Amino acid sequence: MPSRSDDDDPRLGDVSEGTVLRAILARTPSASHTILGPGDDAAVLAAPSGSVVATTDTLVHGPDFRLAWSSGYDLGWKSAAVNLADVAAMGARPTALLVALAVPRDLRLSFVEQLADGFRAACEALAPGCAVVGGDLTVSDVLTVAVTALGDLEGRSAVTRSGARPGDVVAVAGELGLSARGLAVLFGRFRDGDVPVPVVASQLAAGERAALDAQLRPSPPIGLGPVAAMAGATSMMDISDGLALDAGRMASASDITIDLRSDSLGDDPRLALAGGEDHALLATFPPDVLPPGFRVIGDVRTRGADGVLCDGQPVDVAGWDPYRDWDAAAG
C-alpha cells in the first residue's frame, strides 16, 4: 500500500488525544454482547449466564515484539489472539476486549490505526461476536499493549488446569513449535548484527512464511475451547511457554503425570516440546472422548517423580522466562 506523507500521517505527539481516539473508534465495531460500548467511564457487557471469564496479557516492545518485524496490524492481531486463547482455554467464548495502549509520542498515527485494524480482524477471524469495547490511551517511551479479554461460559463450568485424571488422554488443538520456528527465522536471518531488519519475502524458503505468520499473527483455535468444554474436557490450558513447561503446570495443578508420545509431536518433537507462543489448546479428555479438531499426543498417568514424560522418559526442556531471558534489546 502507498505510504502516506508525514503531513497525512502525523506523529502522536503532534495531535490531540481526541484525534487518536477518534481514529481508533472509527475502526472499532460493536460486538454482540455490548450493552454500552466505548465513550463513557466504562463499558457494559452482557453476562447472560451469570458469570464472566476475565484475563489480561501484555505485549511490551523489546521482550515481546520488535517493530522491524511486527507491523501495527500484526501487533494488534497478536495482542488480541493471545488473550482470546486464555479465554478459550477456560472453555468460554470471548465476548469483549479492553485495550490499554501506552505509546511513544514519535509513533505515527497510521501505526495506531493499523493496530486497531489488527484487533478488529483478529476478533472477526478467531472469535466472531467479540470486539474491543473499551480502552485507555496514554504516553510512554516504551510501546506497551495491555489487553483484557472477557468471555462467557454459556452456563458451563470453567475448565481449569486441575481436573486431569489418570486414564484420561492428553490432546492438543493447534500448532506446536511453529511460532518458535518463525522466531528462529527472524533472529537467525533478519538481523543486521543485533539489529532487527524487515523481513524480505523473497528470502523465505517454503514453509517459512507459515512459521512467520504463526509468530507474528498467531491463529489459535479459539472456537475449539467451548467445543472441548462441551465434549467433557477434564482440564485445559493454552500453551504459551512451550508444551513441556505448560504440560508440567497442568500436571502440578492436577497432581498427575503427563506422558507424551514423541511420534505425535511432528517432525521436530524437541521444537514442539520447547517452542512457546503457539497458544494451542492443551486438554485432557476421558479415554472415550475426542472432539473434532483435537489430536491425541499422550496419556495421563498417576503422579510420579516427574510431571512430564515423553515416551516414558523425563523431559528436560526449559521455557521462556522474561525475567531471565530477555536480552534488553528492542529494535
Query: What residue numbers does the annotated binding site for substrate cover?
Result: 64, 277, 320
- Identify which of residues 182 and 319 has a Cβ nearer to a second copy in the complex: 319
Spatial separation of the C-alpha atoms in residues 78 and 84, rounded to whole Å: 10
139 within 8 A of 106, measured Cβ to Cβ:
no
Q: What is the residue whose three cell numbers read 512467520?
A: 212
- Identify which of residues 35 and 195 has a Cβ nearer to a second copy in the complex: 35
User: Of 24, 75, 90, 216, which lies in the binding site for a second copy, with binding defined by CB under 8 A?
Assistant: 90
220 within 8 A of 85, measured Cβ to Cβ:
yes
**Residue 219's CB: how many other CB atoms inside 10 A?**
16
CB of 149 to a second copy, least distance (A): 8
129 within 8 A of 62, measured Cβ to Cβ:
no
CB of 2 to a second copy, least distance (A): 27
217 within 8 A of 71, measured Cβ to Cβ:
no
- Identify which of residues 162 and 313 has a Cβ nearer to a second copy in the complex: 162
What x-and-dash track marks residues 104-143 binding a second copy by CB under 8 A?
A: -x---------------------------xxxx-xxxxx-
Interaction residues for a second copy, span 257-316 (CB under 8 A): none
30 binds a second copy (CB under 8 A): no
CB of 291 to a second copy, least distance (A): 18
CB of 304 to a second copy, least distance (A): 22
- Identify which of residues 40 and 288 has a Cβ nearer to a second copy in the complex: 40
50 binds a second copy (CB under 8 A): yes
CB of 281 to a second copy, least distance (A): 10
24 binds a second copy (CB under 8 A): no
Annotated binding residues = 41, 55-57, 64, 86, 135-136, 161, 238, 240-241, 277, 320
- Identify which of residues 158 and 210 has a Cβ nearer to a second copy in the complex: 158
Spatial separation of the C-alpha atoms in residues 247 and 281, rounded to whole Å: 11
Interaction residues for a second copy, span 55-74 (CB under 8 A): 55-58, 60, 62-64
Interaction residues for a second copy, span 136-165 (CB under 8 A): 136, 138-142, 144, 146, 148-151, 153, 158, 160-162
Shortest CA distance to 139 belongs to which of 106, 99, 113? 106
Strands 131-139 and 93-103: parallel
Q: Is 316 exposed, middle or buried (0-12, 13-18, 19+ CB in 10 A)?
A: exposed
Q: What is the residue whose three cell numbers read 521482550?
A: 63
Shortest CA distance to 70 belongs to which of 326, 274, 330, 271? 330
Shortest CA distance to 296 belongs to which of 277, 282, 278? 282
Spatial separation of the C-alpha atoms in residues 286 and 114, rounded to whole Å: 43
- Identify which of residues 101 and 216 has a Cβ nearer to a second copy in the complex: 101
Q: What is the residue whose three cell numbers read 485495550?
A: 99
CB of 142 to a second copy, least distance (A): 4
Spatial separation of the C-alpha atoms in residues 239 and 298, rounded to whole Å: 15
Spatial separation of the C-alpha atoms in residues 243 and 172, rounded to whole Å: 10
How many residues in the shown chain lie near a second copy by CB under 8 A?
Answer: 72
User: Of 24, 31, 45, 265, which lies in the binding site for a second copy, with binding defined by CB under 8 A?
Assistant: 45
- Identify which of residues 142 and 195 has a Cβ nearer to a second copy in the complex: 142
Interaction residues for a second copy, span 163-222 (CB under 8 A): none
238 binds a second copy (CB under 8 A): yes
DSSP-derived letter for residue 176 is: S
CB of 140 to a second copy, least distance (A): 4
